[in-house]
């Protein structure tokens, strides 16, 4: 029963992380100021987080149903 909760929490964390100023500043420095690559990485994190969230909800539905 802990796995679905972990997946949901990880999904939310992955979706919120690209919105923080610290994350954005570190990636801008890493990519040399290339804004397009930073946006692409943020979108990747959003999709990955959403996938984790859906997987957690599916497991939760399976365990409770």
**Distance between CA atoms of residues 50 and 27, nearest Å:** 21
Looking at the predicted structure, is the pLDDT value of residue 65 above 90? no
pTM, two decimal places = 0.86
For residue 25, the model assigns a pLDDT of 95
Say what the pLDDT of residue 59 is. 95
pLDDT in tens, 10-59: 999 999 999 999 999 999 999 999 999 999 999 999 999 999 999 999 99
């Amino acid at each position: 029963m802990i796995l679905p909760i972990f997946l949901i929490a990880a999904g939310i964390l992955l979706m919120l992380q690209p919105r923080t100023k610290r994350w954005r500043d570190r990636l801008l420095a890493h990519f040399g100021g290339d804004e397009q690559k930073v946006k692409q990485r943020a979108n990747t994190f959003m999709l990955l987080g959403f996938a984790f969230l859906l997987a957690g909800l599916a497991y939760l539905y399976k365990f409770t149903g």
